[in-house]
C-alpha cells in the first residue's frame, strides 16, 4: 500500500542544543507522549544490516512486532529511525525530527520539524494512521511546551510522566535519619520521591551532582552511605568499551565475569576496572518499587559521545556533515569495529571495502565516504574521551569509604581483573628494629599503631585507601597519582607535628609508582598485584626517610610537576632489586610548609 506522510513544524524560544537534549532522550520522550513499553531482543543480523526484534501492545491491546534498525543522527541537527513490521496493521515506519536555528541576536529560537512516514499493511492500518501518527507528533511538540512552562528545580529538570510508582515516605524518612542532616540528603530524598521510575534506577551520582549543583565526590559519598543505610542498592554495570552501553548488570563484584560479549559490536572483551565496570545505584524496593521498562533502546542520548551515526547503503557514497575542528574523534563502523583516527591534515576521501577501511587516519573537512562493500554499514563519528559521569570500579575501589562500608565487595576466588592505571604508595619506618629494642615491645607497638592512624588520616583525606599493613609498612592505593603525591607530601610535612604530639621520633620512608595492575581477592579483601606493585615497593626502599621517591616518568604529568615545584629535588638513576632495567627516579624533600588540605 502507498506511504502516508505526516509533518508538523513549530518554532520555540529555545536554543537548538536544549531542544536536542529534550527530543534525543527518546526513552523519556516516549513515556511523556503516551507510547507503550517495548521488549527488545539482542542485536540480530540479516543479509544486509543488524537490527533488533521488538514487540509491544499498542494501547495495551493491539500486538505489534517489528525489526528496529539503528537510529541515524547528526547531533543537534536531525535523527530518524526505521521500523519494518512483521505483524500488526503497519508495514513500515520512518520517523524523526529536524532542528533549524532561527535565532536572532539575544533571542534564541529553534524551528522543530517532526515528521513520520507510514506504510500500512492493510486497510485497518490505513484507517488507523491519522489516529496513530498525528497525536504522537502533536504530543512531541506539547512536550517542549511543557518544558518551557516547567518551573524547574534542582531535582526536577524535565516534565515527568503522570504514571509512576509511589515512594514509601515513612520508611524513607526512617532510613535517611541514619545519615547526617544535609542539603544533599534532602536532594536525594526529593529525587527518590519525585523522579520517574527510570530516573531512580541505574543512577549515576556524578550526573546527579551536576544537576543538583553539588560537589561530585560529596554526592558519591552520600550514595555509598545511603546504600549502607538501606535506601539504595548498588549495581555493577558491565560496559562495552566500544559502544559504551551496559551489556549486563550484577549486584556484586563477585558475580562479575572476566569476559563479556557485546551483541552490537560482535566481539567478546576482557573486563577491566577502568573501562568495563561502572558503579551505579538503584532505589531499594522497600522504598519504592520502581518498574524497569524500556520505551526506546537506541536513541542518541544513550550514546552522547556519538556525534554522527549514519547508515550507508552498499555501493553508495555519502558526504559527511562538517563538524567543529576536533582531533579527539574517531571514525568507526558498527558491528565490524573497523576504526580510524581523525586528523584534519589527512585525506578527506574515505573508502570502506570488504577488508575494512582503506587507511588509518582521515580528515572530516568536506569528507566523502565510499561504501564499496557488499553490505549496508553504519558509520559512527565519535568522541574518544570516556563518559565523564562514570564512577568506575577503578575509582571506587581505591576509596576508603567504599572499602570500609562494603568490605564484602570482592572478586570471586581465583578471579583476576585488570586495572589500566592505579597508583600504589608504600611506606616504611626507618630504624623500626631498633625502636622495639629501645622503647620495648608494648611502647613500640603503640607507636607503630599510632603512626598507622596518622598515615590513614592523610591517605583517606586525599581519596586513597590503605590496602594492608605489612609489619610496620603500609601499602595504599590511589585512583589519581596527584592524590597519591599530595598525600605523601602532606605526611612528610606533618610528621614532625605528629612526633611532638605523641612524644615520638619516627622517620617515615615513602615511595610510589603508577601503572597497570591486577585486582584480586586476598585475605577476603580486594588487593593488587603485578609489576606496578613490585616497582612501588622497590622504589620505597630507595627512600632515606623524610622524603618521597617517585619515578621521573610520573612528572610528565603537568599536575605532578607543579606539585613538587616548591621543594628541593634530586634526580638520579637506580638499579632496583629484582628489576632488570635502570629506573630514573626523583627524590622530593618536602619543606615544612602548609600541607595540602
Residue-by-residue DSSP string for 26-47: HHHHHHHTT----EEEEEEE-S
**pLDDT score recorded for residue 45:** 79
Give the CA distances from residue 267 to residues 203, 247, 261, 262, 264, in Å, rounded to whole numbers and listed in that order.
27, 12, 6, 6, 8
**pLDDT score recorded for residue 595:** 52
What's the rounded Cα separation, in Å, for the pair 202 and 84?
30
- pLDDT tens-place string over residues 28-67: 999 999 888 999 988 887 766 789 999 998 777 888 899 9
Say which CATH architecture domain 407-588 belongs to.
2-Layer Sandwich (3.30)
Question: Residue 555: is it exposed, middle or buried by C-beta count within 10 angstroms (0-12/13-18/19+)?
Answer: buried
Which residue's entry shows cell 597519591?
484
Q: For the chain, what are the domain ranges?
A: 4-149, 169-293, 301-383, 407-588
65 contact partners, CB below 8 Å, separation of at least 6: 53, 54, 55, 56, 85, 86, 87, 88
CATH topology of domain 4-149: Alpha-D-Glucose-1,6-Bisphosphate; Chain A, domain 4 (3.30.530)
**pLDDT score recorded for residue 266:** 76
Among residues 542, 548, 541, the alpha carbon closest in space to that of 568 is found at 548
Residue pair 237/302 in contact (Cβ under 8 Å)? The answer is: no
**pLDDT score recorded for residue 88:** 85
Would the CA dihedral through 472, 473, 476, 482 be positive or negative? positive
What's the rounded Cα separation, in Å, for the pair 360 and 348?
12
Q: Mean pLDDT of successive 10-residue segments in the chain (597 residues)?
A: 93 96 95 91 78 86 90 96 92 96 96 96 86 90 94 82 88 95 94 93 96 95 97 95 88 92 83 94 96 89 93 92 77 87 83 89 87 91 88 96 94 93 95 69 83 96 95 95 97 93 92 96 94 96 95 95 93 88 92 54
**pLDDT score recorded for residue 1:** 83
**pLDDT score recorded for residue 239:** 92
84 forms bridges with which residues in the sheet?
67, 92
- pLDDT tens-place string over residues 451-461: 999 999 999 99
**pLDDT score recorded for residue 579:** 82
**pLDDT score recorded for residue 326:** 66
**pLDDT score recorded for residue 43:** 84
Q: Over the range 315-343, which residues count as b (16 or more CB within 10 Å of their CB) and which as e?
A: eeebebeebeeeeebbbbbbbbeeebebe
What's the rounded Cα separation, in Å, for the pair 364 and 345?
9
Residue pair 144/112 in contact (Cβ under 8 Å)? The answer is: yes
Residue 240 burial (CB count, 10 A): 19
- pLDDT tens-place string over residues 285-322: 999 999 988 888 889 999 999 999 999 999 999 998 87
Amino acid at each position: 500500500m502507498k506511504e502516508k506522510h505526516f509533518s508538523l513544524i513549530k518554532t520555540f524560544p529555545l536554543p537548538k542544543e536544549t531542544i536536542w537534549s529534550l527530543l534525543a532522550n527518546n526513552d523519556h520522550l516516549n513515556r511523556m507522549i503516551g507510547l507503550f513499553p517495548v521488549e527488545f531482543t539482542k542485536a540480530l543480523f540479516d543479509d544486509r544490516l543488524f537490527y533488533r526484534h521488538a514487540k509491544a501492545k499498542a494501547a495495551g491491546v493491539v500486538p505489534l512486532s517489528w525489526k528496529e534498525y539503528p537510529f541515524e543522527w547528526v547531533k543537534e541537527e536531525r535523527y530518524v529511525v526505521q521500523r519494518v513490521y512483521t505483524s500488526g496493521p503497519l508495514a513500515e515506519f520512518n520517523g524523526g525530527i529536524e532542528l533549524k536555528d532561527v535565532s536572532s541576536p539575544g533571542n534564541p529560537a529553534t524551528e522543530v520539524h517532526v515528521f513520520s512516514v507510514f506504510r500500512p499493511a492493510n486497510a485497518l492500518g490505513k484507517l488507523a494512521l491519522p489516529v496513530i501518527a498525528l497525536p504522537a507528533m502533536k504530543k512531541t511538540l506539547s512536550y517542549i511546551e511543557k518544558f518551557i512552562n516547567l518551573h524547574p528545580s534542582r531535582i526536577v529538570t524535565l516534565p515527568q510522566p503522570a504514571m509512576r510508582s509511589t515512594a514509601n515516605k515513612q520508611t524513607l524518612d526512617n532510613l535517611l535519619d541514619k545519615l547526617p542532616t544535609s542539603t544533599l540528603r534532602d536532594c536525594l530524598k526529593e529525587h527518590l520521591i519525585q523522579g520517574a521510575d527510570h530516573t531512580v534506577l541505574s543512577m549515576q551520582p556524578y550526573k546527579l551532582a551536576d544537576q543538583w549543583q553539588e560537589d561530585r565526590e560529596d554526592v558519591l559519598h552520600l550514595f555509598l552511605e545511603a546504600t549502607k543505610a538501606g535506601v539504595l542498592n548498588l549495581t555493577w554495570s558491565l560496559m562495552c568499551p566500544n559502544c559504551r552501553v551496559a551489556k549486563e548488570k550484577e549486584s556484586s563484584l563477585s558475580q562479575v565475569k572476566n569476559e563479556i560479549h557485546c551483541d552490537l559490536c560482535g566481539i567478546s572483551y576482557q573486563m577491566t576496572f577502568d573501562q568495563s565496570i561502572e558503579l551505579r545505584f538503584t532505589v531499594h524496593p522497600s522504598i519504592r518499587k520502581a518498574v524497569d521498562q524500556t520505551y526506546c533502546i537506541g536513541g542518541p542520548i544513550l550514546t552522547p559521545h556519538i556525534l554522527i551515526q549514519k547508515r550507508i547503503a552498499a555501493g553508495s557514497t555519502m558526504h559527511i556533515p562538517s563538524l567543529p575542528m576536533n582531533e579527539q574523534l574517531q571514525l568507526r563502523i558498527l558491528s565490524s569495529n573497523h576504526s580510524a583516527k581523525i586528523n584534519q591534515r589527512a585525506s578527506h576521501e574515505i573508502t570502506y571495502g570488504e577488508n575494512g577501511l582503506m587507511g588509518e587516519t582521515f580528515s572530516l573537512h568536506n569528507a566523502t565516504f565510499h561504501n564499496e562493500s557488499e553490505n549496508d554499514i553504519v558509520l559512527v563519528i565519535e568522541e574518544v574521551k570516556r563518559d565523564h559521569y562514570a564512577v568506575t570500579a577503578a575509582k571506587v575501589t581505591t576509596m576508603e569509604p567504599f572499602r570500609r562500608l562494603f568490605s564484602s565487595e570482592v572478586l570471586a576466588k581465583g578471579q583476576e581483573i585488570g586495572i589500566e592505571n592505579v597508583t600504589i604508595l608504600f611506606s616504611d619506618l626507618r630504624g623500626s628494629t631498633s625502636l622495639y629494642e629501645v622503647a620495648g615491645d608494648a611502647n613500640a607497638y603503640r607507636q607503630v599503631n599510632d603512626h598507622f592512624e596518622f598515615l590513614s588520616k592523610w591517605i583517606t583525606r586525599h581519596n586513597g585507601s590503605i590496602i594492608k599493613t605489612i609489619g610496620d609498612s603500609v601499602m595504599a592505593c590511589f585512583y589519581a597519582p596527584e592524590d597519591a603525591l599530595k598525600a605523601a607530601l602532606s605526611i612528610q610535612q606533618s610528621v614532625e607535628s605528629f612526633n611532638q604530639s605523641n612524644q615520638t621520633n619516627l622517620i617515615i620512608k615513602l615511595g610510589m609508582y603508577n601503572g597497570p595492575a591486577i585486582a584480586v581477592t586476598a585475605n577476603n579483601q580486594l588487593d593488587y598485584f603485578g609489576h606496578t606493585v613490585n616497582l612501588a615497593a622497590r622504589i620505597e626502599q630507595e627512600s632515606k626517610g623524610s622524603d618521597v621517591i617517585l619515578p621521573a616518568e610520573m612528572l610528565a604529568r603537568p599536575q605532578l610537576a607543579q606539585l613538587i615545584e616548591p621543594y628541593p629535588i634530586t634526580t638520579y638513576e637506580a638499579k632496583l632489586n629484582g628489576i632488570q632495567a635502570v629506573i630514573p627516579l626523583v627524590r622530593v624533600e618536602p619543606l615544612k610548609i602548609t600541607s595540602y588540605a
